Amino acid sequence: MSERESICGDIINEGLVAIVRVPRTELALPLAKALVDGGIRAVELTMTIPNALDAIREIDREMGNDILLGVGTVIDDDTCRAAIDAGAKYVISPVTKPSLVEAAHALDRPVMLGAYTPTEAQTAHEAGSDFIKIFPADTLGPGYIKSLLAPLTHLRIIPTGGVNLDTMESFLAAGSAALGIGSSLLKKKIIESENWPELERLAKQHTDKLAELKTKLGR
């Protein structure tokens, strides 16, 4: 098994990918530690974070294999390669940009291209994207994921947007391979006050819920 395939398996097994956007670089490491302590190992640092590559390097250096660290909001090939060089284990884009697949796969790293329509999702798959990020999923909902997978059963979909404790079951039942989770977990007030114990508590709440749902749905 290649390292890329192994990382894909890890993402599916983890089931939740926390999407991290913070206003200051120095917040990324303690936030990532709180998420991991709460049971969420798959963490996506977005390139919108100031000096995001420095944050990736620091987290990779300090946490190593304790975290499944990815990079998000990647829209060009140079950033893709630089992020992987800094320590990112997978690459996520909000758009359908096929050239990112070649750039990441050349370095044995998986890619999740963004899509909104069936055509975009299939285009991303045909380009070699390991996962399809349906974004923004909050306007589409679990029913859309189920309808999309009916004819396109080969897609491994990870919805982002609208995923929370109340909707997790519906998104999983619709056939999602894993779930991207942002604002319902990484609340603005928690980040502003740097209340990492509360973030850890919320992360555990989400991972406990996921474990319960996987058992219920036979996942």
Would you state the pLDDT for residue 50?
97
Residue 20, both tokens: 């991290």
- Residue range 10-60, pLDDT digits in tens: 999 999 999 999 999 999 999 999 999 999 999 999 999 999 999 999 999
Q: Is 169 a catalytic residue?
A: no
Q: Using 50, 70 and 90 to split pLDDT, how confident is the model at 121? A: very high
Q: Is the pLDDT of residue 130 over 90?
A: yes
CATH number at 79 reads 3.20.20.70
Assigned domain for 46 exists: yes
Q: How many CA atoms lie within 13 A of 73 on its CB side?
A: 11
Assigned domain for 15 exists: yes
Q: Look over the chain and give the mean of its residue pLDDT values, rounded to a whole number.
A: 97
Q: What is the mean pLDDT of residues 113-125?
A: 98
Assigned domain for 86 exists: yes
CB 58 within 8 A of CB 88: no
- Residue range 193-212, pLDDT digits in tens: 999 999 999 999 999 999 99
Assigned domain for 190 exists: yes
Q: Give the closest residue to 161 by CA, choosing from 51, 52, 53, 21.
A: 21
Assigned domain for 137 exists: no
Would you state the pLDDT for residue 88?
98
Would you state the pLDDT for residue 1?
87
Assigned domain for 191 exists: yes
- Give buried/exposed letters for 76-104 (b at 16+ CB in 10 A, else e): ebebbbbbbebbbbbbbbbbbbeebbebb
Domain that residue 194 falls in: 3-117+179-208
Assigned domain for 125 exists: no
Would you state the pLDDT for residue 95?
97
**pTM, rounded to two decimals:** 0.96
Q: Is 44 a catalytic residue?
A: yes
| Three-state DSSP class for residue 180 | strand
Choose the catalytic residue: 33, 89, 97, 133. 133
Assigned domain for 169 exists: no
Choose the catalytic residue: 44, 89, 97, 200. 44
User: What percent of the chain clears pLDDT 90, i.e. is strictly above it?
Assistant: 98
- Residue range 57-86, pLDDT digits in tens: 999 999 999 999 999 999 999 999 999 999
The total number of structural domains in the chain stands at 1
